[in-house]
C-alpha cells in the first residue's frame, strides 16, 4: 500500500507544528493577508486547520468544520491573497524538511479548492 502524504510528513503531530509555524511565523506577519484573521480565535483556527490539512494529505477524516465556501464567505479573497497563503504553506512545509515533490502534491490539493475560496 502506498504511503500517504500525511504519513510521509509525520502525521498529525508534525502537521500541527507546520500549521503553528505557518500562522505564527508567516501568515500573521504578512500584512497582505493577516487582516483576514484579525477577529479569528487562533487556537480554534489552528486546531481546525491541523485537522483539515491532515485530511487533505490523506490522513484520517477528522475535519468537520464549515465547507470552504462557507468558511470564506464575505472575505472576498483575491488571487493574490490565495497565492500568498499557498506560498506560506510551501515555505512552512519546506521549513520542516518536506521535499519539493511532496510540497507540490500538497499545493495541488490546496489549488483544487480555489473556486470555493476566491471572491466569496
Quote the CA–CA distance of 73 and 51 in Å, as a whole number.
Answer: 20
> Please, what is the Cα angle at 15 between 27 and 80, to 5 degrees?
30
Length of the chain: 120
- Flag whether 48 is marked binding: yes
Q: Give the count of alpha carbons within 13 A of 103, CB side only.
A: 16
- Flag whether 72 is marked binding: yes
Quote the CA–CA distance of 15 and 36 in Å, as a whole number.
Answer: 22
Task: Kindly give, in sequence order, each residue whose CB lies less than 8 Å from that of residue 17, ignoring residues fewer than 6 positions away.
Answer: 96
Residues contributing to the annotated binding site for heme: 48, 72
Q: Which residues are annotated as a binding site?
A: 48, 72
Amino acid at each position: 500500500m502506498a504511503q500517504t502524504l500525511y504519513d510521509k510528513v509525520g502525521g498529525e503531530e508534525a502537521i500541527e507544528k507546520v500549521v503553528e509555524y505557518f500562522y505564527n511565523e508567516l501568515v500573521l506577519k504578512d500584512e497582505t493577508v493577516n487582516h483576514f484573521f484579525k477577529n479569528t480565535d487562533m487556537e480554534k483556527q489552528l486546531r481546525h486547520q491541523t485537522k483539515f490539512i491532515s485530511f487533505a494529505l490523506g490522513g484520517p477524516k477528522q475535519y468537520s468544520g464549515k465547507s470552504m465556501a462557507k468558511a470564506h464567505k464575505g472575505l472576498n479573497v483575491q488571487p493574490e491573497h490565495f497565492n500568498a497563503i499557498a506560498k506560506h504553506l510551501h515555505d512552512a512545509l519546506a521549513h520542516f524538511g518536506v521535499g519539493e515533490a511532496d510540497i507540490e502534491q500538497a499545493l495541488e490539493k490546496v489549488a483544487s479548492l480555489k473556486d470555493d475560496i476566491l471572491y466569496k
